[in-house]
A and B are shown apart, each in its own frame.
Chain A
Amino acid sequence: MKISAIVTLKKDVLDPQGKVVHQALNGMGFNNVKEVRQGKYFEIDIDESDKKKAEEKAEDMCKKLLANLVIEDYKIIGSQ
């Protein structure tokens, strides 16, 4: 089963990369952009056919490695 997960910086954590991307977009003429926040996307192929079990495993991976919970949030966004 393939699990998709995203990891994003918490709202109150400064995101200088997102800020630079935002500035670049402005420079390209995209003037209506209010904010850009950059994150990470993971596709995890797990040898597990039970969706619930696969998602639980992926969640454990997020907690233990993929996200640093001091600064980041994670979300399982899909499984197929």
Chain B
Amino acid sequence: MNSSVIIFPGSNCDRDMDVALKKFGFKNKMIWHNDTELPKSDLVVLPGGFSYGDYLRCGSMASKSKIIESVINFAKSGGLLLGICNGFQILTETELLPGALLRNKHSEFICKNVFIKINNTENNYFKNIKKNILELHIAHNEGNFFCSSDQMKNINDNNQIAVFYCDKDGKINDNSNPNGAFNNIAGLFNKQKNILGMMPHPERMIDTYLSGDDGSIFFQNLITNLK
């Protein structure tokens, strides 16, 4: 399985993602934002970080970078496109995913482990996943998902909510919502479910000695589904 991770100036989870993808069997290539063509890929990842220093709005400058046209074409032809954290913000700025990520409700940069509940398993990312509540890491200032009521209706009608913030028992409520996101939304699909954007970082949870292992479950499941 071939994967590509796009590097923007200011990306800082690109190498973590590279390590994670290779650990679970992907042949990964790192692609610079000024390139115009993607290599043959089964998965393209927009990594976390602070692309272009978060200037203007998080992800806005990256959404206009040279490589993005190829990324959009790849996703529109059904390719798997995963955006983590800043990658999720870039996906909303390119309008590949609906809504926007606002500043966290309590004006704090949040850096901690959270639990997420998988809402939809009819896709390559979560099909047959062995746990439906995962403990993953978040680290962001703008993760407060917002959308218009029309967009929310479409999201619900098309079953596009990928993951919710929850507590360790899977309860989805205000107490388990770290940043004020609408309906505890932590991650979204596009209508076709080949594009996934989420704030939590599975690539930070692939080593039990360092953090935890639930990211391993995500990547192992993903590559198994793609084989």
A: residues with CB less than 8 A from B are 13-14, 16-17, 19-20, 65-66, 68, 70-71
Contacts and interface: CB of A to CB of B under 8 A. Distances in A.
B105 A70 contact: no
Given A19-B107, A66-B56, A14 B144 contact: yes
Interface stretch (B9-17, B96-104, B112-120, B193-201): B96-104
Nearest to A16: B107
A16 B56 contact: no
Main secondary structure of the interface of A (DSSP, over half): helix
A32 B151 CA distance: 37
A68 B100 contact: yes
A71 B59 CA distance: 14
Contacts of A19: 107
Interface string B121-165: 000000000000000000000001011100100000000000000
Nearest to A20: B107
B93 A68 contact: yes
Contacts of B33: none
Given A65-B56, A65-B64, A68-B60, A17 B103 contact: yes
Contacts of A68: 57, 60, 93, 100
A60 to B, nearest CB: 14
Interface of B: 56-57, 60, 64, 92-93, 98-100, 102-107, 144, 146-148, 151, 180
Given A16-B103, A16-B107, A70-B99, 12 more contacts: A13-B146, A14-B105, A14-B146, A16-B106, A17-B103, A17-B107, A66-B56, A68-B57, A70-B92, A70-B100, A70-B148, A71-B146
Contacts of B98: 70
Contact of B180 (A14, A65, A71): A14
Contacts of B60: 65, 68
Contact of B104 (A13, A16, A65, A71): A16
Contacts of A14: 102, 105, 144, 146, 180
A12 B187 CA distance: 22
B64, B98, B146: which has the most chain A beta carbons within 10 Å?
A: B146
Nearest to B93: A68
B107 A70 contact: no
Contacts of B99: 70
Nearest to A70: B100
Contacts of B56: 65-66
A66 B144 CA distance: 20
Nearest to A64: B64
Interface centre among A13, A17, A68 (most CB of B within 10 A): A68
